[in-house]
Amino acid sequence: MQEEFAIGLVGWGVVGGGVLDVLANNGELLSQRCGSRLVVKTIVDNDLSRPRPQQVSAQLSTDIDDINNDPDIKVVIHLVPGTTIALDLMVSSLTAGKHVVTANKALLAEHGHNLYSVANKHGVSIAFEAAVAGGVPIIASLRDGLVANEIDSIHAILNGTSNFILTQMEVQGSDYHEALAQAQELGYAEADPTLDVNGHDSAHKLAILARIAFLAKVDMHHISIEGIEKVTADDIASAARMGCRIKLLAVACKREDGIELRVAPTLVPNNFPLASVSENYNGVRIDACNAGPTLLVGQGAGALPTASAVLSDVVDIASGRYQETCQRFRFFKDLDTLTVLDEDDEITASYARFMVPDRTGVLASLCSCLSNRGISILSVNQSQPDHNGLCSLEVTTHPCRGGDFLAAAREIERTGLAVEPPRMFRMMS
């Protein structure tokens, strides 16, 4: 006889429906594997009248106390979006002594410290494998699989919507707005895609990963964030000429003096496996001191991949393992304070595209501007002059100080070498 493990579900939307679907379709297998029969006993949602595809025998309610006050229920899956009502609901479950499983990355990134301390206070845990990279087991891999490693850096594609749009722009040569419209049509972008395309969703996820990687408190204001809204078809074509693809990359990188934390459109050389992570896929590369570089790729969103991750967390709690993790591991307790590097002090390979007059000596002067600041050039590409006698001059560099590259680029513009502000991106190296 297998013991029954009662679950509460708060939020019966797309992902909540996914959880119910997976339990309906694979619950038997799951209980064979993990030794407990997982049963959603009570579902709480503020709108129970909406028609839904799932048939359930669970108790339905609009009142979370029907879950929080039920001594049978040990774990509550919280799938309410946003950071206001969702926060209150989660705090109420933690305070009631329930373990919480969530996919809400914004809530964890913005209110994680408080939530973890409420959880600690009440002797319960918060599990969130589903909050980063959906079905890809990145949290467990980083926390447990790489436990014996200093983490040197994380380079990650964490937003499927942005990645889909950038892939479309590359494959079809379309501009940002066309590609966004197409993503919306195909269901890869929401009607309001703001958080996805402006980099904030990626930053939420990066904050969660960096906390685990560096055992440090990471706040959203630590992360410099730039989205993909201003990436042009020309940028993507130019990157291709330099042997790269543009990806919205979330980067956490340990340096001697602190940590670099940023989300930005970034050139990824085609020979890096991350460059091949296309369409709506997510990919995370972790450079660890002993394991070396490790890459995980998979579906970062969607009802079933997210439900797969949610249920892996539930199993981890039902088996008692996650409680051991939270009790023994330092991730949710007295963490270090993070020293975050200023963008000027980042060390990163860089790309710039200048519009320059078709005149002898321009390339030499431009190269001098860079080398005078100790910036080493990786490659240069110059186009034929257009009908205005202007050439596009593309430069990539070896890793250099961000501030130095910016200063050189400004000087190139100020001294009239370039006729307009350059297009600039970081490059993975």
Torsion angle of the four alpha carbons 113, 217, 151, 330, in this order, in degrees rounded to the nearest 10: -50
Report whether 314 contacts 22 (CB < 8 A): no
Q: Of 7-15, 50-58, 239-247, 284-292, which segment contacts its own copies by CB under 8 A?
A: 284-292
Q: For 35, how many CA atoms within 13 A lie in the half-sphere containing its CB? A: 5
Q: Of 155-163, 192-200, 300-308, 396-404, which segment contacts its own copies by CB under 8 A?
A: 300-308
Report whether 226 contacts 126 (CB < 8 A): no
Is residue 141 a contact point for its own copies (CB under 8 A)? yes
Is residue 140 a contact point for its own copies (CB under 8 A)? yes
Which of the 8 DSSP states describes residue 199? S
Query: CA 233, CA 178: separation in Å to the nearest integer?
Result: 11
Is residue 157 a contact point for its own copies (CB under 8 A)? no
- Minimal distance, residue 322 CB to its own copies, in Å: 8
Applying CB under 8 A, among 150, 190, 279, 386 the residue interacting with its own copies is 150
Nearer to its own copies, 173 or 273 (CB): 273
Nearer to its own copies, 22 or 418 (CB): 22
Q: Using alpha carbons, list the distances in angstroms from residue 408 to 360, 370, 373.
A: 20, 6, 7
The footprint of its own copies on residues 3-62 (CB under 8 A) is: 18, 22, 25-26, 29-30, 32-36
Report whether 251 contacts 283 (CB < 8 A): no
Q: Using alpha carbons, list the distances in angstroms from residue 161 to 158, 186, 227.
A: 9, 11, 12
Is the alpha carbon torsion for 302, 308, 314, 316 positive or negative?
negative
Is residue 168 a contact point for its own copies (CB under 8 A)? no
Is residue 330 a contact point for its own copies (CB under 8 A)? yes
Applying CB under 8 A, among 156, 207, 315, 349 the residue interacting with its own copies is 315
Which DSSP string do the residues of 77-122 spell out, in sequence order? Answer: EE---SSSHHHHHHHHHHHTT-EEEE--HHHHHHHHHHHHHHHHHT
Nearer to its own copies, 9 or 264 (CB): 9
Is residue 385 a contact point for its own copies (CB under 8 A)? no
The footprint of its own copies on residues 212-251 (CB under 8 A) is: 215
Cβ-defined contacts of 327-335 (< 8 Å, 24+): 329/143, 330/215, 331/143, 331/211, 331/212, 331/215, 332/116, 332/119, 332/120, 332/125, 332/126, 333/116, 333/120, 335/211, 335/215, 335/216, 335/217
183: left (phi over 0), alpha (psi -120 to 50) or beta: alpha
Catalytic residue among 41, 98, 205, 254: 205
- Minimal distance, residue 330 CB to its own copies, in Å: 6
Measured at the CA of 296, the angle between CA 149 and CA 348, to 5 degrees, comes to: 70
Beta-bridge mates of residue 44: 10, 61
- Minimal distance, residue 282 CB to its own copies, in Å: 10
Is residue 375 a contact point for its own copies (CB under 8 A)? no
Active site residue 247: no
Q: Of 103-111, 167-175, 312-320, 382-390, which segment contacts its own copies by CB under 8 A?
A: 312-320
Is residue 123 a contact point for its own copies (CB under 8 A)? no
Is residue 296 a contact point for its own copies (CB under 8 A)? yes
Is residue 305 a contact point for its own copies (CB under 8 A)? yes
Is residue 145 a contact point for its own copies (CB under 8 A)? yes
Residues that bind its own copies (CB under 8 A): 18, 22, 25-26, 29-30, 32-36, 129, 134-137, 140-141, 144-150, 215, 273, 276-277, 288-299, 302, 304-305, 307-309, 311-312, 315-316, 319-321, 324-325, 327-331
Which active-site residues does the annotation give? 205
